[in-house]
A = this chain, B = another copy of it.
Amino acid sequence: MIVDNAVYVAGHRTADPPSLDETFEVMRERHGFAWIGMYRPSPEELQSVADEFDLPPLAVEDALKGHQRAKIEKYGGSTFLALRPARYLDADERVEFGELHVFLGADYLITVRHAESPDLALVRKRLEGDPELLAKGPLAVLYAVLDQVVDEYAPVINGLENDIDEIEDQLFNGDQEVSRRIYQLSREVMAFQRATHPLSDMLESLRDALAERDADVTLRENLRDVHDHVLRIVERADSFRQLLQNALMVHTTLVGQDQNNEIKKISSWAAILFTPTLVGTIYGMNFEYMPELHWVLGYPFALALMLALGFGLYKAFKRKGWL
């Protein structure tokens, strides 16, 4: 589906051409650039855009197949970017990855979105409200798209951090589910790292390319800003990996410690229970001459002895910290 199809000249939207042919014509005529937004296009739709703008066939194929890693590829005068936007689903503690493909040319920028995120309508609105930036052409749009994708990583990082905080609480409260949660969160963090890590190199190569071409300074500074943002996200994701690794190791230790404590507690109760049995066994012996057996209060005495021993042991273990 073609969501939006506009031509911009000098920072202002000048036409909403009803067809791609006209877009192309208008763009050429007025020396503007086209910005076409597609959402899950059918192969035919994508192909017609590709034909009109002469997009590189391999990149079009990638956009059709999907499941690309984040990458940037130059094809002659055209550049293809695959991005991996992400959304955090708090209920499932899962990171959902989308895919966004961008075709960038001297006078066009085409976005192919395969998921709800990122919110490109917002990007368009932002840019149409900032004609100065928009006037810098398709690269400005690319910057804004990247900025949006990276901005949407922030809630993911925060969601993950929040889960890690919860895991720490669980960890020291002895919640048994914690190892499964650590495992699954590690998996999400690793997937997130796979999605965001290449972005840093991509931005670096993009910045290098712009620096070589002596491109607009503001744009380059803006991209550096996005790059810095990416680095911060990558660093935090790295630290999550390490924290979860540590949590896993601490958990192993805590499980062992718990076991030590249980064994002590259980052994204490075993001793408390068993000592009266010893008394009972003694007074169950069949010796002819056992004075206690003939005492009138022998039986209460034996019971009292049992209780006293049990209670004494209880106090002793309590003092030792076993109970």
A298 within 8 A of B: yes
Q: Are B289 and A296 in contact (CB under 8 A)?
A: yes
- The closest CB in chain B to the CB of A274 belongs to B273
Q: When chains A and B are docked, how far (Å) is the Cα of A271 from the Cα of B278?
A: 12
- Which of A71, A264, A281, A302: most chain B CB closer than 10 A? A281
Q: Are B287 and A56 in contact (CB under 8 A)?
A: no
Q: When chains A and B are docked, how far (Å) is the Cα of A261 from the Cα of B183?
A: 20
Q: Of A11-19, A46-54, A228-236, which binds chain B?
A: A228-236
A205 within 8 A of B: no
Report if A250-B248 is in contact (Cβ < 8 Å); known contacts: A194-B239, A283-B286, A293-B287.
yes
Q: When chains A and B are docked, how far (Å) is the Cα of A194 from the Cα of B242?
A: 12
* Chain B residues closer than 8 Å to A75, beta-carbon distance: 221
Q: Are B263 and A183 in contact (CB under 8 A)?
A: no
| Identical subunits present | 5
Q: Of A97-105, A118-126, A252-260, which binds chain B?
A: A252-260
A91 within 8 A of B: no
- Chain A interface size band reads 35 or more
Q: Are A251 and B253 in contact (CB under 8 A)?
A: yes
* Chain B residues closer than 8 Å to A162, beta-carbon distance: none
Q: Are A293 and B286 in contact (CB under 8 A)?
A: yes
Instruction: Give, as a whole number of angstroms, the nearest-CB distance from A152 to chain B.
Output: 17
Report if A273-B278 is in contact (Cβ < 8 Å); known contacts: A190-B239, A256-B259.
yes
* Chain B residues closer than 8 Å to A245, beta-carbon distance: 246
Instruction: Give, as a whole number of angstroms, the nearest-CB distance from A157 to chain B.
Output: 12
Q: When chains A and B are docked, how far (Å) is the Cα of A242 from the Cα of B245?
A: 11
Q: Are A58 and B225 in contact (CB under 8 A)?
A: yes
* Chain B residues closer than 8 Å to A252, beta-carbon distance: 249, 252-253, 256
Q: Of A20-28, A33-41, A134-142, A172-180, which binds chain B?
A: A172-180
A 86-132 contacts with B by CB, 8 A? none
Report if A190-B273 is in contact (Cβ < 8 Å); known contacts: A225-B58, A283-B286.
no
* Chain B residues closer than 8 Å to A275, beta-carbon distance: 273
